[in-house]
Amino acid sequence: MTKTALISGITGQDGSFLAEVLLEKGYDVYGIIRRSSSFNTDRIDHLYQDPHEKGTRLRLLYGDLNDSSSLNTILRQVQPDEIYNLGAQSHVRVSFDIPEYTGEVTGLGAVRFLEAIRETGIKPRFYQASSSELFGNAFETPQTEATPFHPRSPYGCAKAYAYYITVNYRESYGLFASNGILFNHESERRGETFVSRKITRAATRIKLGLQDKLYMGNLDARRDWGYARDYVEAMWLIMNADEPDDYVVATGETHSVREFLEKTFGYLDLDWEKYVEIDPRYFRPAEVDLLLGDASKVRRQLGWEPKVTFDGLVKLMTDYDLQLAKQEAEARELKHTSTTNKARWGSM
Active site residues: 131, 133, 155
Query: Which of ligand NAP, ligand G4F, none binds 195 (CB below 5-8 Å, type-dependent)?
Result: ligand G4F
Per CB under 6 A, 83 contacts ligand NAP: no
Nearest to 201 by CA among 150, 134, 268, 282: 268
Minimal distance in Å, beta carbon 156 to ligand G4F?
8
Q: 48 or 212, CB closer to ligand NAP?
A: 48
Measured from the Cβ of residue 123, the count of other Cβ atoms closer than 10 Å reads 12
Minimal distance in Å, beta carbon 89 to ligand G4F?
9
Minimal distance in Å, beta carbon 284 to ligand G4F?
5
Per CB under 6 A, 86 contacts ligand NAP: yes
Per CB under 6 A, 13 contacts ligand NAP: yes
Minimal distance in Å, beta carbon 264 to ligand G4F?
13
Residue type, position 205, single letter: R
Per CB under 6 A, 72 contacts ligand NAP: no
Q: 4 or 189, CB closer to ligand G4F?
A: 189
Are 84 and 18 contacting, i.e. CB atoms less than 8 angstroms apart? yes
**How many angstroms separate the Cα of 191 from the Cα of each of 46, 82, 177, 246, 344?**
18, 26, 28, 26, 41
Per CB under 6 A, 211 contacts ligand NAP: no
178 DSSP β-pair partners? 127
C-alpha distance across the termini of the chain, in Å = 71
Are 148 and 136 contacting, i.e. CB atoms less than 8 angstroms apart? no
Q: 3 or 93, CB closer to ligand G4F?
A: 93
Of the ranges 8-16, 48-56, 262-270, 318-326, which one interacts with ligand NAP (CB under 6 A)?
8-16
Query: Which of ligand NAP, ligand G4F, none binds 87 (CB below 5-8 Å, type-dependent)?
Result: ligand NAP
Minimal distance in Å, beta carbon 208 to ligand NAP?
26
Per CB under 6 A, 254 contacts ligand NAP: no
CA-CA distance, 346 to 348, in Å (whole number)? 6
Are 95 and 151 contacting, i.e. CB atoms less than 8 angstroms apart? no
CA-CA distance, 35 to 45, in Å (whole number)? 16
Are 285 and 217 contacting, i.e. CB atoms less than 8 angstroms apart? no
Query: Which of ligand NAP, ligand G4F, none binds 15 (CB below 5-8 Å, type-dependent)?
Result: ligand NAP
Q: Are strands 222-223 and 255-256 parallel, antiparallel or unpaired?
A: antiparallel
50 DSSP β-pair partners? none
Chain position whose Cβ is nearest to ligand NAP = 12
Q: 82 or 207, CB closer to ligand NAP?
A: 82
**Options 4, 5, 14, 204; binder of ligand NAP; rule CB under 6 A:** 14
Residue type, position 5, single letter: A
Per CB under 6 A, 105 contacts ligand NAP: yes
Could you list the beta-strand ranges (E) of the chain. Answer: 4-8, 28-33, 58-62, 82-85, 125-131, 177-182, 185-186, 214-216, 222-223, 226-227, 246-249, 255-256, 276-278
Q: Are strands 82-85 and 4-8 parallel, antiparallel or unpaired?
A: parallel
Minimal distance in Å, beta carbon 185 to ligand G4F?
8
Binding stretches for ligand G4F (CB under 6 A): 90, 92-93, 131-133, 183-184, 193-195, 198, 216-218, 221, 223, 257, 282, 284, 287-288, 291
Per CB under 6 A, 60 contacts ligand NAP: no
255 DSSP β-pair partners? 223
Minimal distance in Å, beta carbon 71 to ligand NAP?
9
Q: 34 or 93, CB closer to ligand G4F?
A: 93
| Residues near ligand NAP, by CB under 6 A | 8-9, 11-15, 32, 34, 36, 40, 64-66, 86-90, 105, 129, 131, 182, 184-185, 191
